[in-house]
Structure 1
Amino acid sequence: MVLRVLALAATVVVLVATVLAVTRDSASAHGSTINPASRNYGCWKRWGNDFQNPNMATQDPMCWQAWQADPSAMWNWNGLYREGVAGDHQGHVPSGQLCSAGETGGVRYAALDNPGNWQAANISNNFNVTVHDQALHGADYFLIYVTRQGFNPLTQRLGWSNLELLKETGRYAPGAGTRENGDPVLNGVSNSIAISAPGRTGRHIVFVIWKASHSDQNYYWCSDVNFPGGGGGNPTPTATPTRTPTPTPTATPTRTPTATPTRTPVPTTPPGGARSCSATYAVTGTWNGGFQADVRVTAGSTAISGWTVSWTFANGQAVSSTWGANIASSGSSITARNVDYNGSLGSGGSTTFGFVGSQSGSNAVPTLSCAAV
């Protein structure tokens, strides 16, 4: 009986400490792009009150993989910032890590950098970016970038060279803006900034930097958008999930990722012939019972119009959901074929597709074969 009482007391202490920690994080973090929604605010908006819903895995696979990596990316949607930047954004936030603010907070936001089928807002080439200032900090400035035509957020991590600066604002006084009433977590003010992005079609990223006025605190947000034309859309994942997410069912989850995302590329030898391709496989995240992997397909010395990648899992792994490819499974044998937008590759060109899978125990990297047409 005494041991049970002590165990219960210890549990209460842990829960109280967790509540205080999350409250402290929230108290020092105050904003996001809300329209078009940033990746982390969008995930919170869609799933924050429904995070146990297994449909997240197929309806919103990129939010699902971010949740599996670290639930705090969603719960702390307003805390994606770095301090002490002194205006040198490119010096403090490396290319490939822009959406996580240079992996600020360790692995907390790292999954936001992963390319894939993030939910994208349909916008016109003349649009407004709405940023929310939750703590009425004001702004020294906002910098608003849009990716250049040709960048593909489905297959590429965002780098500085992919961006074009379209707007640098002046100062916003603390408290300036319109009070928000539509979302109870938005209890500050919002400002809308008009942007023109001519020549863009299809999928893109809007990248916003907010330099808050109260200190050298700099926020970085990636919002996925779809401009008219280009057939960007939000492709529907083709597989049925085999695993239900199991986050801690509290308002202040304490789950931490079980493994830091690692890349383990395994190159394949392209087949002979006039048209050829090769493929590499990389595990980008693992957790108890599941994992995420990316596959890069590269054309040989001749342009190709389509590709098929095949492999066999050795340890009973299974594909749950996918983006950027049509995947079929027959037991442990997997076949992935290009979708409409990424089958044609120029000489030496490449594209990437990804998937979420289930695992139990070992997760050996398979050997891939690639066939081109």
Structure 2
Amino acid sequence: MVLRILAVAASAVVLLAAALAISQQTADAHGSTINPASRNYGCWKRWGNDFQNPAMATQDPMCWQAWQADPSAMWNWNGLYREGVNGNHQAAVPSGQLCSAGETGGIRYAALDNPGNWQATNVGSSFNVTVHDQALHGADYFRIYVTRQGFNPLTQRLGWGDLELVRETGRYAPGEGTRETGDSVLNGVSITMPVSAPGRSGRHIVFVIWKASHADQNYYWCSDVNFGGSNPQPTATPTRTPTPTPTRTTPPPTTTPTRTPPAGGTGSCTAAYAVTGTWSGGFQADVRVTAGSAAIRGWTVTWTFANGQQVSNSWGATVTSSGSAVTARNTDYNGSLAAGASTTFGFLGSQTGSNPVPTLSCTATT
């Protein structure tokens, strides 16, 4: 029941944002601040395998509201970025929207801007900030800010005037950093940077800008911290055993997404295929599944590649291949859709020649 409620609520938000989302690049494997954990990475880390647990509402209420607003902000914890900034971060990202990178991707990350009792990491006046570079982009620079004393993240949205720069780095070459062990999701490199922010106590936000070295791609993350450990924290979440989750491990696409019209479904759903980026030998594609005039409990999308393309990694669906034939089935969290509601899944693929868009067929379980 809780799963159905979550899926329907998320689907309603996705439907409202569909016009915006269609023109945006979806998040792919890039990275995030993992210590102190960014808001969406922390939520995904704590609840990604237990997201239907109603205890989240009371034990981690800010994650709960963000998950209700759009679960894809958590599943896409590694894709919170903007392009085309040209170094002018304050012009590209308005005050009050720093934690969502100026509401990049429409409303996907908007709930991350909401003030409240986000789970925070206890730190001292000197501490380390660790960023995970999942796609081995490297960096032109990192800029690390901490909110000034007197800012209250429990009641205030973050603005540029609330920040004090505590460190700016130089360049990091692609692949420079330390390999993580014991976590298959963190399969890139981690970069750890010591910072000092004296004269602070209580709750604050660490704000990190990562300017990737491969393109004008700029990442913005908010991490909640507690200097001195004096303020109350949300109740700890239940202990759980992590299970493998979809990751994206190849270089990111840089081309403009192109989307085909929805293919006519053989059941009460349709599917639309979009190539969201290509690079030498590879590509990324997203598929939007939309329920028909009645609610559905599950969906299956099939297609056949025409030129030897192969799926190498997927998220948001269980994807299997047999030769050139591909079958994608819903996961536990996105199978139930209200009438007219949508969800998305995506994958990375390999190609050796042309990459024509396939014809999709969608069947639904009602």
Q: Please report the TM-score for the alignment, with normalisation by the length of structure 2.
A: 0.58
8 Å Cα contact 2:31-2:133 kept in structure 1: yes
Matched with 1:117 is 117
Deviation digits for residues 185-214 of structure 1 (CA, Å, limit 9, x no counterpart): 111000100000000100000000000001
User: Using a 3 Å threshold, how does the CA distance of structure 1 residues 176 and 255 change in structure 2: closer, same or farther?
Assistant: farther
User: Using a 3 Å threshold, how does the CA distance of structure 1 residues 201 and 49 change in structure 2: closer, same or farther?
Assistant: same
Q: Residue 331 of structure 2: which of 234, 243, 250 is its match?
A: 250
| Superposed structure 1 runs of 4+ greater than 4 Å apart | 254-258
2:231 and 2:78 mapped to 1: Cα distance? 28
Equivalent residue runs for 1:120-269 within 5 Å = 120-228=120-228, 231-234=230-233, 250=331, 253=334
User: Using a 3 Å threshold, how does the CA distance of structure 1 residues 255 and 120 change in structure 2: closer, same or farther?
Assistant: farther
CA drift at 1:235: 5.3
Equivalent residue runs for 1:286-325 within 5 Å = none
Amino acid at match of 1:131: V
1:233 and 1:102 mapped to 2: Cα distance? 29
Equivalent residue runs for 1:5-154 within 5 Å = 25=26, 28-154=28-154
CA drift at 1:254: 7.3
Q: Percent identity?
A: 79
User: Using a 3 Å threshold, how does the CA distance of structure 1 residues 185 and 255 change in structure 2: closer, same or farther?
Assistant: farther
SS in 2 for 1:143: strand
2:70 and 2:208 mapped to 1: Cα distance? 23
Deviation digits for residues 45-90 of structure 1 (CA, Å, limit 9, x no counterpart): 0000111111000000000000000001100000000000000000
1:105 and 1:216 mapped to 2: Cα distance? 16
CA drift at 1:96: 0.2
Matched with 2:295 is none
User: Using a 3 Å threshold, how does the CA distance of structure 1 residues 41 and 164 change in structure 2: closer, same or farther?
Assistant: same
User: Using a 3 Å threshold, how does the CA distance of structure 1 residues 236 and 35 change in structure 2: closer, same or farther?
Assistant: closer
The 10-residue stretch of structure 1 (220-229 or 64-73) with the greater mean CA deviation from structure 2: 220-229
1:30 and 1:104 mapped to 2: Cα distance? 15
8 Å Cα contact 1:70-1:257 kept in structure 2: no
Deviation digits for residues 76-129 of structure 1 (CA, Å, limit 9, x no counterpart): 000000000000000000000000000000000000000000000001110000
SS in 2 for 1:146: strand
Deviation digits for residues 157-209 of structure 1 (CA, Å, limit 9, x no counterpart): 00000000110000000000001123221110001000000001000000000
* CA RMSD across the alignment: 2.5
1:184 and 1:111 mapped to 2: Cα distance? 27
User: Using a 3 Å threshold, how does the CA distance of structure 1 residues 195 and 48 change in structure 2: closer, same or farther?
Assistant: same
8 Å Cα contact 1:203-1:233 kept in structure 2: no
Deviation digits for residues 268-311 of structure 1 (CA, Å, limit 9, x no counterpart): xxxxxxxxxxxxxxxxxxxxxxxxxxxxxxxxxxxxxxxxxxxx
The 10-residue stretch of structure 1 (177-186 or 210-219) with the greater mean CA deviation from structure 2: 177-186
8 Å Cα contact 1:71-1:256 kept in structure 2: no
Query: Which of these two proteins has the greater Rg computed from alpha carbons?
Result: 1
Task: Give unpaired runs (5+ residues) of structure 2.
Answer: 1-21, 237-315, 317-329, 340-366
8 Å Cα contact 2:119-2:234 kept in structure 1: no
8 Å Cα contact 1:201-1:227 kept in structure 2: yes
SS in 2 for 1:74: helix
User: Using a 3 Å threshold, how does the CA distance of structure 1 residues 118 and 167 change in structure 2: closer, same or farther?
Assistant: same
